[in-house]
Amino acid sequence: MARRENPEINAGSMADIAFLLLIFFLVTTTMNVDSGISKKLSEKPPKDYIPPMIKEKNIFVVVINRNNELLVENQRMDIKDLKDEALKFIDNGGGIGNAGEDGSPGKACDYCQGERSDSSSDHPNKAIISVQSDRGTEYGTYIQVQNELLKAYTELRNRLAKQKYQMTFDELEKAYDEAKKNAGMKDRVEDLRVKVEYIKTAYPQIISDAEPTS
Amino acid sequence: MPAVNTAALPDIVFMLLFFFMVTTTMRETDLRIENPRLPSATEIKKLEHKSLVCTIYVGKAKDETKGAGYNKIQLNDKIASADQVPSFIINARTKVSEAEIPFMTTSIKADRESSVGTITDIRLKLRDVNALKVSYSTQKGTSN
């Protein structure tokens, strides 16, 4: 049954195949989005800089040794307990906070739900977390610790935002980003900015990295 | 024998063109270290403005004569030491406009077995040249 003649190969669907392949590659090639834990380093202190006096109770010391073990406030701890401990410390609110930038006197933390114990932090804006690692500490552990501490802050911020604005802090930030991009929502931008700023100053992330021991 | 219809040839060519356009922008530098196994974290932020990001890799050298261990630093296309970080940053700054310099971010892609000492060395050097925005590159982990 040989065909006698073959006038033309139908190439009409070739373009469809080409587009199909194009779409396939577009979908499968993942442009790896770079994401990570962002941090702002402190500026280099001038030579004659005298560090301010900070009360012992306002510092939460986390030490990581070269075997990747944790010592939190002089007690051995597993990494899974770190978040709750940090949360308790930040949210303690046992005293009076820093004075405002406009010179207004510091106030007690009225949104904290902590134990208000005298031996823990005074106010979230005074609470400093100091991470002291060894030069030989594994980077993975270090990041895990940073992550747990950030988790504590996120949880507190979400709680406060939910309480005040009936939405989590993540949602609030997302709404703010969207409002910034969207020209039709100009009137909401300022309102959302104030809300985001308020939450951020209510629980500022103060995590300092001490010089590692060798 | 009739000629093969070549009407779809432009489509194929364009497809290939698009494909290569998409893939070639993915990585400008060759990795001189083994692909770092990034640590995983949940509290992460996306890095925006790709042109303002300079990346420092830390990990194990592919070339074994450069020494073993997970603490080799790669700047641009070669293995370097922490002392060369400032010149790397200053070089990167010449490529962006002056107004954008404060928004430049340094992304550190380090292997999870690297040691904190190496990262601290880099951090101190970054502080010297006032490159204060740092992002520790991580994978998205599962929250638990």
Q: How far is CA A43 from CA A46, A158, A184, B128, in A?
A: 9, 29, 39, 8
**C-beta atoms of A35 and B12 within 8 A:** no
pLDDT at B53: 86
Question: Which chain B residue is nearest to residue A153, measuring alpha carbons?
Answer: B43
Q: How far is B47 from chain A (nearest CA, A)?
A: 5
**C-beta atoms of B39 and A139 within 8 A:** yes
- A97-101, A118-122, B80-84, B123-127: range with lowest mean pLDDT: A97-101
Is the pLDDT score of A30 beyond 70?
Answer: no
Which residue among B42, B50, B117 sits closest to A212, beta carbon to beta carbon? Answer: B117
Which residue among A7, A18, A38 sits closest to B15, beta carbon to beta carbon? Answer: A18
Question: Which chain A residue is nearest to residue B103, measuring alpha carbons?
Answer: A40
Which residue among B47, B105, B115 sits closest to A136, beta carbon to beta carbon? Answer: B115
Mean pLDDT taken over chain B: 82
Mean pLDDT (whole number) for B22-41: 73
Asked if residue B32 lies in contact with residue B74, where contact means CB atoms within 8 angstroms, the answer is yes
Which residues of B are less than 8 Å from A211 in CB distance?
Answer: 120
Which residue among B11, B43, B133 sits closest to A15, beta carbon to beta carbon? Answer: B11
Question: Which chain B residue is nearest to residue A14, measuring alpha carbons?
Answer: B8
Report percent pLDDT > 70 for chain A.
Answer: 88
Is the pLDDT score of B143 beyond 60?
Answer: no
Q: Give the number of beta-carbon pairs within 8 Å between A and B.
A: 166
Mean pLDDT taken over chain A: 81
pLDDT at B141: 76
**C-beta atoms of B134 and A9 within 8 A:** no
Which residues of A are less than 8 Å from B7 in CB distance?
Answer: 11, 14
**C-beta atoms of B123 and A211 within 8 A:** no
End-to-end CA distance of chain B: 68
- A105-119, A133-147, B39-53, B102-116: range with lowest mean pLDDT: A105-119
Q: How far is A35 from chain B (nearest CA, A)?
A: 4
Which residue among B8, B43, B113 sits closest to A151, beta carbon to beta carbon? Answer: B43
Mean pLDDT (whole number) for B97-104: 86
- A37-51, A137-151, B17-31: range with lowest mean pLDDT: B17-31
pLDDT at A190: 84
Mean pLDDT (whole number) for B109-130: 88
Is the pLDDT score of A25 beyond 80?
Answer: no
Q: B45: pLDDT confidence band, cut at 50, 70 and 90? A: confident
Is the pLDDT score of A100 beyond 70?
Answer: no
How does A145-157 read in b/e, with b if 16+ C-beta sit within 10 Å? bbbbbbbbbbbbb
Question: Which chain B residue is nearest to residue A22, measuring alpha carbons?
Answer: B15
Distance CA B70, CA B96 (A): 31
pLDDT at B24: 56
**C-beta atoms of B12 and A18 within 8 A:** yes
Predicted-complex ipTM score: 0.77
SS3 label, residue B48: coil
* CB-based burial label for B37 (10 Å; 0-12, 13-18, 19+): middle
pLDDT at B77: 80
Instruction: Determine the Cα angle at A21 with ends A20 and A24, to 5°.
Output: 90
Q: What global pTM score does this model have? A: 0.78
Contact partners, residue A97, CB within 8 Å, separation at least 6: A106, A107, A108, A109, A122, A123, A124, A125, A126
Which residues of B are less than 8 Å from A14 in CB distance?
Answer: 7-8, 11-12
Which residues of B are less than 8 Å from A154 in CB distance?
Answer: 43
pLDDT at A214: 65
Q: B26: pLDDT confidence band, cut at 50, 70 and 90? A: low
Q: How far is B91 from chain A (nearest CA, A)?
A: 20
pLDDT tens for A134-163 read 888 888 888 988 999 998 989 999 998 888
Q: What is the DSSP letter of A138?
A: B
Distance CA B11, CA A148 (A): 51
Q: A14: pLDDT confidence band, cut at 50, 70 and 90? A: low
Contact partners, residue A145, CB within 8 Å, separation at least 6: A62, A64, A70, A79, A82, A131
Distance CA B88, CA A65 (A): 31
- The number of C-alpha atoms within 13 Å of B35 and in the hemisphere containing its C-beta is 1
Mean pLDDT (whole number) for B62-79: 80
pLDDT at A101: 66
Is the pLDDT score of B28 beyond 60?
Answer: no
pLDDT at A4: 63
Q: Which of A129, A133, A146, A65 is nearest to B118 (CA)?
A: A133
Is the pLDDT score of B17 beyond 80?
Answer: no
Is the pLDDT score of B131 beyond 80?
Answer: yes
Mean pLDDT (whole number) for A108-117: 80
Q: B21: pLDDT confidence band, cut at 50, 70 and 90? A: low
